[in-house]
Structure 1
Amino acid sequence: MSQVTQPRVRRVWVVLGASVLSSLLLATPALAGDVQLSGLQSAPTHQRFIVKYRDGSAPVANTTALASSLKTAAAGIASNQGRALGLQQVRRLAVGSTVVRTDRALDQAESELLMRKLAADPNVEYVEVDQIMRATLTPNDTRFSEQWGFGTSNASINVRPAWDKATGTGVVVAVIDTGITNHPDLNANILPGYDFISDAAMARDGGGRDSNPNDEGDWYGDNECQAGYPGSNSSWHGTHVAGTVAAVTNNSTGVAGTAFNAKVVPVRVLGKCGGYTSDIADAIVWASGGTVSGVPANANPAEVINLSLGGGGSCSTTYQNAINGAVGRGTTVVVAAGNSNTNVSSSVPANCPNVIAVAATTSAGARASFSNYGTGIDISAPGQGILSTLNSGTTTPGSASYASYNGTSMAAPHVAGVVALMQSVAPSPLSPAQV
């Protein structure tokens, strides 16, 4: 995730009284599904949840049974100004779970109670919050000298000798991020992508999912995303990440890319205020060549996925199922470790098994002050003062530009690019474990 686009989130903690907690526990039957509470602290209120019903159970096979299950759970929540809580299905995910949405925002205590009520149905395997993730940035290119990560010091990735042997030809990297903008130093290496943002307000393109992965801008005003959350201009985060992976190189223009003959499939999941776990999970499945209901097949399945995004908590079952599916299809998943200067064990999806978690280093070869750390880190890469492709617009897209960003978001695409270099010269495709 990019440091410059990751505002500090004000944590709101809710303490349940002993009597309330006892009542909740007593109300939960022995056969209740797993209630995954780690996502509750990510925001003061929630409206979307992910429910996994057991395969072959009535709610899976019958919409009436599903509606009944949701109605029963909602009935356990106190009414608001005399109006009962509404709870409806949004859609099924590619990993088999179901996204549900309440008709009003629930505070953390209400959200936990609803999750436990949902899990009380013996047909339910698990319930979790549909958590919002946020963005976590010797050719003749004119600004190549400013790209210290491609230099020859001990702090760089020492890629220049590798370019004599590999440039990423024939390899596809999926950048799951804010989408892509028009850029002459990128366009030649961009393949058709997809927009997985299902929430129209987040998407800003007049609708839900579609085949246009263009970045419409992720700007927002003060308090728009949540109380106390300061406003921000558009980040063009996906364009910056894509440039580090595969900017067009040796074209006497701008910057170089790590694997400059690889191709990038831009997958849009982050918009205004971030993006939902459910959309990101479907994007991981699709990018790696899996099937997502209602979405055309990806004509260019990726050998590598870059996820420069994240949030707090533990790895959710939804993320893990999507990642495991991608790895099973032969796709290596590279994830930014996070910018909270804390142990990566608390940063999702970097803390999920089967990913490469990437920390950030400085031009002096030290850990960047913002970078997460710990035994869960697999590798580190340049992540401070990283120059790459960008856009000049403060809200909606403007002209093509370049800028330096800080963050583990900028470190991860260096690693994704190196994986592309490896795959481009491997006699046969390397498995994620081999990578």
Structure 2
Amino acid sequence: MLAAAVGAAVSMGVSVAVVAAPTAAAQPQSGPSARIIVGYRAGAAAAVSDTAAAQDAGRKSSRAQGKLLRRLSTGAALVEVADGSSVASVMAAYRSDPAVAYVEPDLVVQPLAAPNDTEYGKQWDLYEPTAGMNVPGAWDQTTGTGVTVAVIDTGYVAHSDLAGQVVAGYDFISDASNAKDGNGRDADPSDPGDSAGYFECFLQPSHSSSWHGTHVAGTIAAATNNGKGVAGIAFGAKVQPVRVLGRCGGATSDIADAITWASGGTVSGVPANRTPAKVINLSLGGQSSCLATYQNAINGAVSRGTTVVVAAGNSNADVSGFTPANCNNVVAVAASNRAGNRAFYSNFGAKIDVTAPGGETRRETDASGTTTTPENGILSTLNSGATTPAAETYKPYMGTSMAAPHVAGLVALMVAKKPALTPATVESLLKANTRPLPGTCTGGCGTGLVDATKTVQAVS
């Protein structure tokens, strides 16, 4: 059985660049004088006496010009180090004093600014208060460092906004004709393009190459604060491209092996995965009950500690009829639009766990004519080639294929903060920390719209 990629490709894009300031690191104060914070041990005279603390400040500064400014609410002393004194030497003098518990600079911090990625202003799905995922508030706690996310998809086409984020993957397409790369399984997960002519894939119409896996990967972990392109949700994480979808989709047998391998399991004839993924993204599916082959592979991945995130499907139907989203032990993700409604295409139902931004860019006709709304899609990394790779680009897509990597990126943030999290706990935290969709959802959208900041804060 072939499982087709889930996610409607939208080719229109916008080109206005929005530049935001980078996040600034905390810096010691500069100028003619600097301030330090001194915490004295209980029982020390300077711990309770301002006079003693002031005298101590004078003794430890050159030319006796250090002075006590005030007491903090914690009881510590705020001390000004006078011009001409070495802050480092004054702090060293305090540290050597047995009456001092700690001494530290009175740092100046800056507001947390938006990333300086030029297209960040178009990523409404990350930050808009109405229906965004509230990602920026999570970044001061975790960026996904140390976590690998496997993107089981069409593979990866070279893109400078992802080049430093990718670890070694694998090509699991066993049918050389479907693979379009001249061979079967191998260690090269590069995406040569999944275009096909009329009726080359059963009775399907022709289609251009989607570069689907690269778009998914960008949402998860595109390089951030690099002055270009888009920001990834878990930009400290790594992406592992695992190729299973060719010009005519992908076989269940290949996808199941890919799930096993990506999570660190053994697949006959395939070298061991040296960087097993703690998160797997499956933006793919087909109409069927949950096949035992899928369920067994998913169960194995979960038993190895890997969370499996699956797109619900784009048929505006009950997800119970679409696999592998209808399997057990997965996080099934529906898609919402920019207004916070269930997207018109998104599957729904009791087996949906959560909803995430998937975008909606359909044509709309009114008195003024027919218009499209690419700005309401999910912008990510892509390639401009219609068949084979060409120049890199960024374009908006829509689909539950776009919603799932939002959740996979969030899971990477969670696991980076607390590596001991089990897939069951991850799912529980995701569902417990959603917020209600600001719009409408008919049929069931799980517990609501995922909230990255709230969820990450709930990770103890």
**Is 1:318 the equivalent of 2:309?**
no
**Is 1:432 the equivalent of 2:423?**
yes
Equivalent position to 2:145, from 169, 189, 211: 169
Q: Distance in 2 between matches of 1:406 and 1:413?
A: 12
- Which residue does the alignment assign to 1:420? 412
- Which residue does the alignment assign to 1:390? 382
- AA at the equivalent of 2:411: V
Q: What is the CA deviation profile of residues 405-431 of structure 1, one whole-angstrom value per residue up to 9, with x for unaligned ones? A: 0100000000000000001111x4210
Equivalent position to 2:216, from 198, 220, 241: 241
TM score, norm. by length of structure 2: 0.65
After TM superposition, the structure 1 = structure 2 runs for residues 149-298 of structure 1, keeping only pairs within 5 Å, are 149-227=125-203, 229-298=204-273
TM score, norm. by length of structure 1: 0.69
- Which residue does the alignment assign to 1:99? none
- AA at the equivalent of 2:181: D
Q: Distance in 1 between matches of 2:200 and 2:269?
A: 31
- AA at the equivalent of 1:434: T
Q: What is the CA-CA distance between 1:222 and the residue it aligns to?
A: 1.5
- Which residue does the alignment assign to 1:132? 2
Q: What is the CA-CA distance between 1:403 and the residue it aligns to?
A: 0.5
Equivalent position to 1:331, from 293, 303, 306: 306
Q: What is the CA-CA distance between 1:399 and the residue it aligns to?
A: 1.2
- For residue 257 of structure 2, give the secondary structure of its aligned residue in structure 1: helix
Q: What is the CA deviation profile of residues 3-37 of structure 1, one whole-angstrom value per residue up to 9, with x for unaligned ones? A: xxxxxxxxxxxxxxxxxxxxxxxxxxxxxxxxxxx
Q: What is the CA-CA distance between 1:230 and the residue it aligns to?
A: 1.2
Q: What is the CA deviation profile of residues 359-416 of structure 1, one whole-angstrom value per residue up to 9, with x for unaligned ones? A: 0000101000000001110000000100000001000111111100010000000000
Q: What is the CA deviation profile of residues 304-362 of structure 1, one whole-angstrom value per residue up to 9, with x for unaligned ones? A: 00000000010001000000000000000000000000000011000000000000000
Q: Distance in 1 between matches of 2:140 and 2:178?
A: 43
Q: What is the CA-CA distance between 1:136 and the residue it aligns to?
A: 0.7
- For residue 4 of structure 2, give the secondary structure of its aligned residue in structure 1: strand
Q: Distance in 2 between matches of 1:223 and 1:422?
A: 44
Q: Distance in 2 between matches of 1:153 and 1:240?
A: 24
Moved segments of 4+, more than 6 Å: none
- For residue 309 of structure 2, give the secondary structure of its aligned residue in structure 1: strand
Q: Distance in 2 between matches of 1:172 and 1:417?
A: 10
Q: Distance in 1 between matches of 2:321 and 2:120?
A: 35
- Which residue does the alignment assign to 1:356? 331
Q: Distance in 2 between matches of 1:134 and 1:269?
A: 10
Percent of aligned pairs with the same amino acid: 65
Q: What is the CA-CA distance between 1:217 and the residue it aligns to?
A: 0.6
Q: What is the CA-CA distance between 1:221 and the residue it aligns to?
A: 1.1
Q: What is the CA deviation profile of residues 25-60 of structure 1, one whole-angstrom value per residue up to 9, with x for unaligned ones? A: xxxxxxxxxxxxxxxxxxxxxxxxxxxxxxxxxxxx
- AA at the equivalent of 1:358: V
- Which residue does the alignment assign to 2:429? none
Q: Distance in 1 between matches of 2:391 and 2:144?
A: 28
Which structure has the larger Rg over C-alpha atoms? 2
Q: What is the CA deviation profile of residues 65-98 of structure 1, one whole-angstrom value per residue up to 9, with x for unaligned ones? A: xxxxxxxxxxxxxxxxxxxxxxxxxxxxxxxxxx
Q: How many residues align?
A: 303
5+ residue gaps, structure 2, are 8-113, 360-376, 427-460
Q: What is the CA-CA distance between 1:154 and the residue it aligns to?
A: 2.9
5+ residue gaps, structure 1, are 1-130
Q: Distance in 1 between matches of 2:351 and 2:333?
A: 9
Q: What is the CA-CA distance between 1:149 and the residue it aligns to?
A: 0.6
- AA at the equivalent of 1:159: V
- Which residue does the alignment assign to 2:399? 407
